[in-house]
Amino acid sequence: MINFTGGEPTLRSDLEEIVAQASALGFWTSIVTNGSTLTQDRIRRLKGSGLDNLFISLDSPEPEKHDASRCIPGLHQKVMQGLQWLHEEFLTGHRTGGIFCVLTANNAEDIFRVLQIAEQAGVFAIVQPYHGAKTGSDCLSPSLTDSLVDVLAKLRHQNPCLLSTQSYLKGISSFLGHQELPRCNAGTKYFSIDPFGFLHPCVDSPAVGHVLRDDLSVLRGPAATKAVAACRGCWYCFRGEADTTLRLRGYLEKVSTVGRVLKTNITRSKGRERLRCGEALGPTSGGSVI
């Protein structure tokens, strides 16, 4: 799996070429974007390049609140338009995409409204708790009660748009409660390459080498091991969610999620096809649409 993130990955004019190369090598490819530069044609081209997963960040159901958090006026409207294009153009077969919501002190109580937006737009949603490593501040850490996390975990069964697994959602309580987390596999199961080619055990750890100069074994070397050991832990999707497959229950949840995605996308595709057929047939003599 390769996830292209940022900063803002869609600022790269060669993104489709990179995705196509990764896809040709057999990687499952993913992008997380703020949606500011997405167009309907860009989504079509990314899908054509072999992209498997495309999520757009949404911080709040309130336009003013979302735009203020991102410092981009009018971004909320672009995100909503992007979600519509994802539904119409991207979500077929095995592909996943929709809303990526980072839970913070400012939006934790809004998460159910965010999930409603995903359901109404006909897209998927995943959540992830805020972590201060990216900003150097814990001021936005959410105050999620165990009961709220339990409701989210139960909602996973009821709402087909929520793709975050129960195992991951329940782990949010342990993370926010500063309880002991499972072993971190940064540098062994996953690693990060920044835009300049430097190798990092994870996206928030210091560089330990360069992709054009060093063997990947540096990601398991003394400097990398020290950096991972010094980290107080996160609950990012690439960590907690990816690691669910290391346990039987989590693996079965992932298999179930694949089935959910396929079933949901097939149902949506049939609905879009029926709508297109109705539009093509046009109004009948009685003035109704078939």
pLDDT score for 289: 31
The amino acid at 82: G
pLDDT score for 232: 81
pLDDT score for 283: 55
Q: In the chain, which ranges are continuous DSSP H helix?
A: 15-24, 40-48, 63-70, 75-85, 111-121, 146-158, 166-176, 222-230, 248-281
DSSP state of 162: B
Q: Count H helices, E strands: the chain?
A: 9, 8
Q: How far apart are CA 57 and CA 198, in angstroms?
A: 26
Q: How far apart are CA 246 and CA 72, in angstroms?
A: 39
Q: What is the pTM of this model?
A: 0.89
pLDDT score for 141: 83
DSSP state of 237: I
Q: Is the dihedral of CA 229, 235, 239, 240 positive or negative?
A: positive
pLDDT score for 40: 97
- Calculate the CA 94 to chain-centre distance: 15
pLDDT score for 279: 64
pLDDT score for 109: 85
Neighbours of 143 (CB within 10 A): 10
Q: How far apart are CA 277 and CA 274, in angstroms?
A: 5
Which of 161, 130, 153 has the alpha carbon at shortest distance from 244?
Answer: 153
pLDDT score for 288: 33
Domain 2-184+233-269 is classified in which CATH homologous superfamily?
pyruvate-formate lyase- activating enzyme (3.80.30.10)
pLDDT score for 287: 37
**Average pLDDT, consecutive stretches of 10 residues, N- to C-terminus, the chain (290 residues):** 91 96 97 96 98 97 95 97 97 96 90 94 94 80 81 85 91 86 90 94 94 96 93 87 85 90 89 73 44
Contacts with 174 (C-beta within 8 Å, 6 or more apart), sequence order:
180, 181
DSSP state of 168: H
